[in-house]
Amino acid sequence: MRLPRCRTQSFSILDGTNPQSAYNDWMHGSILVTVDESKTSPTSYRRGERSAAYEVLKDLVDPEAKAQRFNGKNRQAFDGTSYCSFWVATNHANALSIPPHDRRFTVLRNGRPITPEEATAFAAWMDTPGAIAALAGLLEARDLTGFKMRVPLETAGKTEMAELAVSEVEELLRDLMDDPERGKVFTREHIKMAIEHNFNGKGHYWEGEFREVWPRYAVGLRHASGGPMRLKVFGTQKKLFCFRRAHKAILHMPDAAIRREAGKWGGVDPAQGLGEIGGSTAKI
């Protein structure tokens, strides 16, 4: 049986929310897969759901051809290579929670709306015998020198989608990271208190988003021996962290400087000795 080289597919099959998504043998032999709409769930506006979809899709659409296992319904599973390209249409600028430096997706926007006259002319062209073949020949003749098919294009649409993926908690973390008045070293509790202050005490509904983004922005400080670095804050020993982009600068910061940076957030006993921190060099 000859498999089709181009096919349409439901987004729920791609993102794993459809029970039939366990069967992926339709990818084998397919060259181009199109999807009409990328948001099918009634709750797909939720950031967590969009993030989960991205985690599934990023492996599915990885630009590198790689061997994988194909599973089919009522047939033997087999190994092979998928060369699929995916074209997914959406009416939503925030369809996926794409990170700023994603290497898998290109996001393109439509141009201006087509006029009725142009639509009529386009329909007439499509009915002309040989039109599609002529278009294929035109595309095949294009000079693709310098074009890297496995490198996604950086477009205004992709920038917008990445910005819309940033949660309010993540925006607050970025603000704290860029605030020169804030200490370069802190505890997890320091950051949570700062975020809660910005939410004006309106409950802890933001904590789920905080848990998700925290590992992406913060990294724990360690002694040269490898143990976590701690400091007594508000009367309790707490692990110390810094923002990931600053960790190289913190590597060789002396204990006294580390303590001063943490003290900018408050709650550090001014009489506390450096022995509470440990060795003379911070190590990530």
Q: Is residue 22 part of a domain?
A: yes
Question: Domain check: are 147 and 37 in the same one?
Answer: yes
pLDDT surpassing 60 at residue 66 = yes
Contact at 8 Å (CB) between 89 and 36? yes
CA atoms within 13 A on the CB side of 249: 11
Ramachandran region, residue 267 (left: φ > 0; alpha: ψ -120 to 50; beta: rest): left
| Structure token pair of residue 69 | 């296992």
Question: Domain check: are 114 and 174 in the same one?
Answer: no
pLDDT surpassing 60 at residue 261 = yes
**How large a percentage of the chain has pLDDT more than 70?**
87
Query: DSSP string spanning 12-37?
Result: HHHTT-SGGGG--GGGTT-SEEEES-
Model pTM score: 0.59
Total structural domains within the chain:
2
Contact at 8 Å (CB) between 86 and 61? yes
Question: Domain check: are 129 and 179 in the same one?
Answer: no
Q: Is residue 282 part of a domain?
A: no
pLDDT surpassing 70 at residue 84 = yes
pLDDT in tens, 94-118: 888 888 788 889 999 988 899 999 9
Give the DSSP H/E element, type plus range, for residue 88.
strand 85-88
Terminal Cα-to-Cα distance of the chain (whole angstroms): 56
Q: Which residues pair with 61 in a beta bridge?
A: none
Residue-range definition of the domain harbouring residue 87? 6-164
Question: Domain check: are 139 and 172 in the same one?
Answer: no
Q: Return d(Cα 140, Cα 143) in angstroms, integer.
A: 8
pLDDT surpassing 50 at residue 274 = no
Question: Domain check: are 113 and 41 in the same one?
Answer: yes
